[in-house]
Amino acid sequence: MTERGELAGDPFGRLRALTEARIGLGHAGPGLPTAASLKLQLDHARACDAVHTALDVPALQIALGRKVHVVHSAAADRATYLQRPDLGRRLAPEVSLPRLGGDLAIVIADGLSATAIMAHAAAVVAALPAFLPGWTILDPVIALQGRVALGDAIGEQLGARSVLVLIGERPGLSAADSLGAYLTWAPRIGRRDHERNCVSNIRVKGGLAPERAAANIAWLLGEARRIEATGVVLKDRFGDGAPTLSGPADTPRALDAPHGGA
């Protein structure tokens, strides 16, 4: 079939090859074709499962292959967590972590997708040390019913110079396993979102691969240590080339705006 004939038969074919968005699905009478309708229902079910499935802490600890601390936010259960975002940003009153110091605290929070945590968090944590030679990286903290700002309280208790929060992003109908990474320099309770940087959509298929994400995170952390700040004052200039241990590529890109609703 000629290129013109292919475009005439399916004008959205090439666009669909470039995006996971639902475009050019066609119709069956006033509704979607059966295949498209069933795929929509399946993706909706996967998104719901990602939000409501409990994080498998023992399996995550095995995947991390190292000692972890497990803490809980002030949201006592999943229903409370979803209805009271403020409680997900605060540690439960009984939580007390040792003041260890160190350059980087890593918090792994279930957020709005335990699916994303189980799929990608361990790979990011495993890749980070190679990009951060000489950094003191504390044992990870697994935070249940946690949101991004919970990392501020954890980092403050640990006495870390910076905190990285790996969290399950709000699932959509094209991605239920998207992981977000939020970085904050000098974490303490009361930090605001504009004082953080975000590397988003970390996932193997259709997103940023975990090792490349680790390289991007490490670049941001290095710059944060240099200027002693994160957030709007730190522009993400990590390159678009493949990450290597010798450093990022030279081509800059604009700052990724934090998102995910965590």
The contacts of residue 252 (CB under 8 Å, 6+ apart) are 237, 239
> Are 171 and 112 a contacting pair, CB within 8 Å?
yes
Cα-to-chain-centroid distance, residue 145: 15
DSSP 137: B
169 among annotated binding-site residues: yes
| CA gap 44, 50 in Å, rounded | 10
Residue 198 in marked binding region: yes
Phi, psi of 101 (to 5 degrees): 75, -160
In whole angstroms, give the CA distance from residue 176 to residue 117.
11
Beta bridge partners of 168: 179
Binding residues for adenosylcob(III)alamin, by number, are 148, 169, 198
Please enumerate, by residue number, every residue annotated as part of a binding site: 148, 169, 198
